[in-house]
Chain A
C-alpha cells in the first residue's frame, strides 16, 4: 500500500520533471542589459533587442535584414506618404485589440520631446486614419526609404498607456520612474514574466501571438542574464549554464569552436571602422606642420596607402574583419564591390605622395582613439601609429574611453580620429547625412563637396529607384577620389551557442527568437 503510494508520487514527480524538461528554454547572455522596457526611451542596441521581443513595429527585418511585414501586412508609396494595411485580429498582451488608433498614438509618442526616436519618427509628419486597419503615414514630400526608417519604432497600446499615465516617455528631469520602465503591454511573441535589471529577465511565449504558426521558432521561455565581464560570459557558455552568447570576445572564438557541443557562427557586421582626417580647419591643433597637411588630397591618399589593412586583419583582428576601401559595408544600399576594394598598401608610393605634397620629412599629428568601443580599437590605432611612422609621420596616440572620445568628434575638436559607423536603415543616406554631408553631425573631417551635399539631400525625396541608386553611386565615386576618410575594415560578428539550438545569425547583431529552434 505504502509502496504503491510512493510509486504514484514518484511517477507524478517524474511527469512533472519531464514536462518541465520538454519546455524549450533559451538561456542566453550578452554584455549589457536593456536600460528600460519603455520602447521609445532609449535608442540603444540591447534595449531595442529586448523590447523587440515584447513589442512590434509595423515593418521588421528578418535575419537576412530584408524588410518583412509585422503589424502591417502591406504598404505602398504615394506622393505625400505611405499607406499601410494593418494586420487584423492582433491583440496586446492584456487582451485589448490592436487598431489604427494605436499606430497614431505610438507615432505621437515616438515624436515626443523626451523620446529617443524622434529623429527617426520625424520622417512621419502625421498619421492619418483611413479605417480601423488602414493608416497613411504622411511625409513632407516623397520619402523613398520610409519603410527602412520604421523598423525600430514600436507600437504601444493607447488605452493602456493612458490608463497608466505613460503617454510620453520619461524625460531627463523627471523625479520618479514611469510605469512603462518596468511594465509592458506589447503585441510581440513574448511577454515579461519577471525582470531584475542586470540579473535575470524571464520572458514567456505569448500563446495568442499572430505569428505562432508562421515562424519556425519553438521557444517557450527565454531567460536572459547579462554578464558584464567577457571571460565570465564565455565561462557560462563553456560550463553549460547558458545556451547562447551574443558577444564572445574574438580571442575566445577558437576556444569555443574547439569545445565539444559548442558552435560559433560569424558574419560581416553592418559596422565599418575608419579614421577621419580634419581637412576643413586651416591649422591642425596637434601638428608641427604649417597649415593643415590634410587639406592636400595627396596626403590623405598617402595615409590610405601607408596603412596595411590586411596586416591589421591578420595580426590584430585574428582574421575577424573585412578590409575595405569604403566606410559602409555590404548589405547597405550603395556598397559596391569596386568601391569596397581597399586602396591597397604601398609605402613607397605613400612616401612619394607626401614628398610631392611638400612633406618629405613627414609631420606630427595626434590620433584620437576610443579604447572601449570597437573590437580591438586601441590595438588597431597602435598598429596604425607604427605603419604611419614608416612614411615619416609621427603619430601621438591618445586612446581614451568612449565617453570622452565621442564628444571630441561631435565638437569637431580632433585632427585625426577613429570612428565606427553602423547603418540601421541599410541605406547610404544614413552615412551621407551624418558622416559626409558638410553639415553632418558626426562629420568632424570638415569634408565639404558641394555635389556630395547635393546628392545627400536629393536622395531623401527621389522616388525613382534607379535614378536614386545612380546618384548614390556617383557620390561614392566622388568620395573614393576625395578620400576624406581612411577606411580600415568592416567588423565581423561572432555568436557562440550550443549545438542543440539553431539561431540564425544576423548582421545587425540582434537575436530574433521567432526563428530560434531548440532541438
Chain B
C-alpha cells in the first residue's frame, strides 16, 4: 500500500515537472510583457533595461531553472500587472473559484442524477424525451453562449438576478464566502448553472444509460418477482449499482470544472483564479500564468492520486495484480 502511494507520488512529481516545463516554454510565444508594463512613450533603452532586469533575454532553460528554484522555495514572484505577490493573489481569488465549482458540482450531481433516474425509468414519456433533447443544448453549445443567454434572460429581461460579479461576501479569516447571504446566492446562481450544464448533461446521460442496462439485469427481474415495491427496486437496487461509474467520472471532472471556470468566470466577471488567468494571458503576466498552471496541474495530480487510492481500496483486483 505504502509502496503503491509512494510510486504514485513519484510519478506525480514527474508530471508536475513536465507540465511546468511545457507551460513555461509556451510563454515565449505569448508575446512581450514589457510593452504592457511601460507607457507608449518609454524609450527603446528603457524597454531593453526592463527586459534585462526581468531576465527575459536569458535562455529559456535558465529562466526555467530560476523559476523552478524560486518555486521550490515557495516564491512565486510578483505579478507584472498588479505588482503584488502571486501566491497572495491566488489565495485571495481561490475561494471564489472553489465556491463556484462546489455549487456547480452539487447542481450537476443532484439534477443530473435525478433526471437520469427519471428518464431511465420513464423512458417513453414525453417529459423524458424533452429533457433529453434539451440536454443536448448542454453538450453542444459553448459555455460563453449559454452564459450570455442566461444573462439576457434572467438579468436583462426578467431582472431577477444580477448579470455579473460576486456580492454579499462575508469574511472568515482569509476566506471570503458568498454562500451565507441572499445577495451572494443571487450572484452565484447564473455562473454556477452555466458551469454545471456540461457536467449535468454528462451525468444525466450516464445515469440514464446505466439505469437502462441495470433494469434488464436478472437481479432486478428477481426483485420484481419477489414483489418488492417499485420505489425500492428503482432506488435501492438499480440506482446504487449505477453510481460506481458516475463517481469515477465526477472525480475526474472536478478538475474539468476548474478548467472550464476560466470561461464562465470571464463571462460573469466572477473574481476567481480563472478570470485572473485570462487577464494575465492578455497582459503576458508570466508569473501569474506560471503559478496558475502549476496550481491546476497540482490539483489534477492530487485528484488522480485520490482516485487511484480509492480504486486500490475498493477494487481488490488491483491489489492482487501487484
Contact = CB atoms under 8 A, between A and B. Distances in A.
Interface string A87-119: 000000000000000000000000000001111
Interface string B35-68: 1111111111011001001100000000000000
Contacts of A407: 31-32, 34-35
A410 interface: yes
Contact of A199 (B38, B43, B44, B165): B165
Contact of A41 (B33, B54, B83, B152): B83
B47 A410 contact: yes
A403 B32 contact: yes
A198 interface: yes
Contact of B82 (A197, A229, A239): A197
B201 to A, nearest CB: 23
Nearest to B32: A407
Contacts of A225: 164-165, 269
Given A406-B32, A410-B35, A175 B78 contact: yes
B164 A236 contact: yes
Interface string A220-237: 000001111101100110
B31 A434 contact: no
A228 B155 contact: no
A5 interface: no
Contact of A241 (B40, B163, B278, B283): B163
A422 B156 CA distance: 35
A162 interface: no
A507 B55 CA distance: 38
Interface residues of A, number: 51
B155 A239 contact: yes
Given A225-B165, A240-B159, A172 B54 contact: yes
B276 A119 contact: no
A422 B40 CA distance: 9
Contacts of B123: none
Contacts of A228: 266, 269, 275, 278-279
A235 B39 contact: no
Main secondary structure of the interface of A (DSSP, over half): loop
B156 A239 contact: yes
Contacts, number: 142
B213 interface: no
B90 to A, nearest CB: 13
Nearest to B30: A403
Given A227-B269, A231-B148, A372 B282 contact: yes
Contact of A116 (B38, B80, B85, B278): B38
Contact of B37 (A172, A231, A404, A442): A172
A199 B85 CA distance: 18
Given A198-B275, A238-B156, A441 B151 contact: no
B84 interface: yes
Nearest to B268: A232
Interface in A153-212: 170-177, 181, 196-200
Given A172-B50, A241-B163, A232 B284 contact: no
Interface string A239-268: 111000000000000000000000000000
B194 to A, nearest CB: 12
A232 B83 contact: no
Nearest to B93: A198
A322 to B, nearest CB: 22
B158 to A, nearest CB: 9
Contacts of B36: 403
Nearest to A409: B35
Given A119-B42, A226-B269, A232-B164, 19 more contacts: A41-B83, A43-B41, A116-B38, A171-B53, A199-B269, A228-B275, A229-B164, A229-B267, A232-B148, A232-B151, A235-B151, A235-B164, A241-B162, A403-B36, A404-B30, A407-B32, A407-B34, A410-B44, A434-B41
Top 9 A-B residue pairs of the complex, sorted by shortest distance between their CB atoms: A403-B31, A43-B39, A404-B31, A407-B32, A239-B155, A119-B41, A177-B84, A235-B163, A403-B284
7 contacts: A119-B43, A177-B84, A232-B151, A235-B151, A410-B35, A410-B44, A434-B40
